[in-house]
Amino acid sequence: MDIEPTLSIEHLTVDLPEGADRPHAIRDVSLQLWPGRTLCIVGESGSGKSMSANAVMGLLPKGVSVGAGRILFGGRDITHLSEAQYQELRGQGIAMIFQEPMTALNPLMRIGAQIAEVFEAHGRLAPAERAARALQLLREVGIPDPERAQFAYPFQLSGGQRQRVVIAMALALEPRVLIADEPTTALDVTTQAQILRLIKDLQTRHGMAVMFVTHDFGVVSEIADDVAVIELGELVEQGPAEKVLKAPDHPYTRRLIAAIPTVEFRDEPAREEPLLRVRDLVKEFRTGARVVKASDHVTLDLMRGETLGIVGESGSGKSTLGRAIVQLVTPDSGTIEMDGKDISHLRGAALRAHRKRIQMIFQDPYASLNPRARIGRILTEGPIAHGRPRAEAEARARELLSLVGLKASAMERFPHEFSGGQRQRIGIARALALEPEIIVADEAVSALDVSVQAQVLDLLEDLKQRLGLTLLFVTHDLRVAGKICDRIAVMQKGRVVELGSVEQVFRAPREAYTRSLLDAAPGLEVQP
């Protein structure tokens, strides 16, 4: 190629402050961004992928600095610019979009004014033209009804619309490089698909170079031209997307790609014996005059020994259903029956005694363990509260730890001494401590890296077989649901719109909504 790269990172090393878990956030990384092409930087959490994006923008946190190498933008070294020079560069030369659009926007400013402010900050356009250009940008990023939307505040927009506004701001000064740091991670799948399409579209139209930081190989396969894989700060593989995804050289890349959950159809006989029956469950949340129906006459059966997936986008009521089943929320009406008895109105001691039959695994492994309790206490206090002698409970806790693949010495340690995946294993051990019949997993693997996610999914599957558990698996990720579930219930706006075996739902979805979810899921492949 005889064209110049728009941005070129040469042997860049970013130093971490002393006392961090490694000396360099990234070490000796070289990358090129070409006009009109998208480079995906892929890595797991802590790999340093975001640091490389921040280094380009001059947004390194305090104590972190560029140790060696340089970043060339249009032939000019931008590694050691002053703050004023960076301000000149940001927005005009290189623009960035962030993961969480709500926090990237000023909540007190109308969005039209926020876009116009970009021009003002760089002294572009006459004041009168700025608003007009802002409106034009909103139209370009596909905000519905832009004439009205320009006067809206960020909270009045949906997550996807907010991300569109952030993109409009990034595009305002026609930058030559767009850096996107996990821009779709906080969004629903259908919205994610739209935003990915928008970025792709704008890129071709403006001939920008895009640097797209992500942890999700599904997204990579949708959007990347080139791929760079980073493991613990080292660039382990880079090349055209086609090659890296289909024939990866490096074992780490191969491991990451192998860890992506794939849909599996099982030929197990359908299970017919209902363990839990949910009938006409209604739960509404009110804030002022606004009523949200989180559960709108939900009816379903959970069969003994099966894994039932509840999938849906945010706000579909899937979590509320899971929480109603474990009785963290009380339904407004309807029943939840176990062994022919309605359990949704138990109170006091009867409820506490019943709780051991249904346990839950939580989403956030960092928030679900008491930071001031040792693992031993976390695993024993439930059984002790149910009348087990302490010694017995402790012996059982050690067994559980080995069951979930941790050492018995973990008993004496605190949660912060473990990684996210290990903590999730502790969360699973805690759920098992009371020997429940049903486990509700609420987005139990969503916060984990793909390789860890695969391990935890395997563990759950294994435990389920060995202990004869019944699993209710709440997730937004169709790939995960397709891998682990026997049946899937698709929820939308508090209703179950489709319920069937994995094979039926994936191969022959009855509902248009299910089909749109399947289409939007990045990197989802189902053999027809």
Partner 1 sequence: MKDFWHRFRANKGGIIGLALLAAIVAVALLAPLLFPGNPWKMVARPFVPPFEGMKFPLGTDTVGRNVAAGLAYGGRVSLLVGLVSTLAALLIGIPVGALAGYFGGRIDDLLMRVTEFFQTVPSFALAIVIVAIFQPSVVSITLAIGIVSWPPVARLVRGEVMSLRQREYIEAAILQGLSTPAIILRQILPNAVSPIIVMASLMVASAILLESSLSFLGLGDPNLMSWGYMIGAARTVIRQAWWLSLFPGVAIVLTVLALNLIGESLNDALNPRLSRRRS
Q: Contact positions toward partner 1, by CB under 8 A?
A: 62-63, 326, 328, 352-353, 355-356, 358-360, 362-364, 367-373, 381-382, 385-386, 427, 430, 433-434
CA–CA separation, 328 vs 418, rounded Å?
27
308 touches 485 (CB < 8 A): yes
Among residues 57 and 360, whose Cβ is nearest to partner 1?
Answer: 360
Nearest by Cα to 180 from 150, 216, 231:
216
Pairwise CA distance, residues 37 & 350, whole Å: 62
Residue with tokens 């959007």: 223
Nearer Cβ to partner 1, position 252 or 362?
A: 362
Residue 491 Cβ, how far from partner 1 at the closest point, in Å? 21
256: left (phi over 0), alpha (psi -120 to 50) or beta: alpha
Residue 110 or 386: which CB sits closer to partner 1? 386
Taking the complex as a whole, how short is the minimal distance between the CB of residue 333 and partner 1, in angstroms?
21
CB of 362 to partner 1, least distance (A): 4
CA distance 421 to 399: 19
Q: How far is Cα 180 from Cα 168, in angstroms, rounded to an integer?
A: 13
What tokens does 517 get?
């979810």
| 64 vs 505 by CB, closer to partner 1 | 64
Residue 206 or 356 having the CB closest to partner 1: 356
What counts of helices (H) and strands (E) characterise the chain?
Answer: 20, 20
Judged by CB, which is closer to partner 1: 200, or 356? 356
Q: How far is the CB of 516 from partner 1 (least distance, A)?
A: 31
Q: Which is nearer to partner 1, 21 or 273 (CB)?
A: 21
Q: What is the DSSP string of 41-92?
A: EE--TTSSHHHHHHHHHT-PPTT-EEEEEEEEETTEE-TT--HHHHHHHBTT
Distance CA 16, CA 269 (A): 54
Residue with Cβ nearer partner 1 (386 or 510):
386
Closer residue to partner 1, CB minimum distance, 201 or 417 = 417
Q: How does DSSP classify residue 292?
A: E
Q: Are strands 487-492 and 307-311 parallel, antiparallel or unpaired?
A: parallel
Closest CB to partner 1 among residues 175, 365:
365
What residues contact 56, with CB distance under 8 A and at least 6 apart? 7, 9, 71, 78, 94, 177, 179, 211
- Evaluate whether 155 touches 149 at the Cβ level (below 8 Å): no
Least Å distance, CB 347 to partner 1, is: 12
Q: Provide DSSP, 106-130.
A: -TTS-HHHHHHHHHHHTT-S-HHHH
CB of 484 to partner 1, least distance (A): 21
Where are the alpha helices (H) located in 374-448, listed in sequence order? 375-385, 390-403, 420-433
- Give which of 340, 336, 337, 304 is closest to 321, Cα–Cα: 336
Shortest gap between Cβ of 428 and partner 1 (angstroms)? 12
Which among 329, 332, 316, 353 is positioned nearest to 283, based on CA atoms?
Answer: 332
Residue with Cβ nearer partner 1 (358 or 489): 358
For residues 344 and 396, what is the distance between their CA atoms, to the nearest angstrom? 30
**Burial of 38 by CB count in 10 Å (0-12 exposed, 13-18 middle, 19+ buried)?**
buried
